[in-house]
Amino acid sequence: MLLSDRILFLDGEAIVLDKPAGLPVDPPRDGSLSLENHLDSLRFGFKRWPLAVHRLDRDTSGCLLLARNPKAHGRFTRAFEERAVDKQYLAILDGVPESDGGTIDLPLAKISSAEAGWRMVGDPHGTQRGKAAVSHWEKLATVEGRSLLRFRPETGRTHQLRVHALEGLGFPLVGDPVYGLGNSATRTLLHAERLVVKRDPKPPIIAEAPFPDAFVALGFTEPAGAAPTRG
């Protein structure tokens, strides 16, 4: 697998990569390959390896931003922290919500146990010191009891869309082994469709990742167009 063939955006300070599903961003404990093993091929003439600015789950495919120098990494990191980055995701739900769209405002907290490990849960009343998490969504299509949704998260909490789908809409993402009916042989069907990072006075970073084959295999087709960027 050549990640250099999956570049969506490239200039002197940024790379946006179409991350394949199954590739973790950080080195996993089991010692399997991660993004780090491919960084040398993503230098494109620079001496430094690029650095990931944010994280996508191992199963999640699509737009991943890398910074090509430390100053750019700092600016991009602040943009994510200040919610100045427009992110759009596509997901397939194991069910069909009644409405066509809306907003999920559900804080998230991390819980863990020796038996089950850790996971994120909704914390609507703040009893577990959950952090604010907001996701806008719209239903794009339905096929055989499943639905294709576009999510536009305002925040970037761990497993945010996976938990918001389950607890906010009542259905898990197809293939999710933690919050749904998936297992070690399935993939959580979540795809980072579009990423926009403003860089005044420079032109913004704009990247869109191709519609995944795994979505096509379930009978879904690429949506007609990306949703408009927030002003």
Active-site residue set: 57
Half-sphere exposure of 84 (CA within 13 A, CB side): 13
Contacts of 218 (CB under 8 A, 6+ apart): 92, 143, 144, 146, 174, 189
Half-sphere exposure of 65 (CA within 13 A, CB side): 27
Residue 49: strand, helix, or coil: coil
- Are 122 and 106 within 8 A, CB to CB? yes
Contacts of 28 (CB under 8 A, 6+ apart): 34, 58
Contacts of 150 (CB under 8 A, 6+ apart): 88, 89, 90, 137, 138, 140, 193, 223, 227
The vertex-153 CA angle with 14 and 207, nearest 5°, equals 30
Contacts of 74 (CB under 8 A, 6+ apart): none
CA 11 from chain centre, in angstroms, equals: 22
Helix or strand holding residue 51 (H, E): strand 51-52
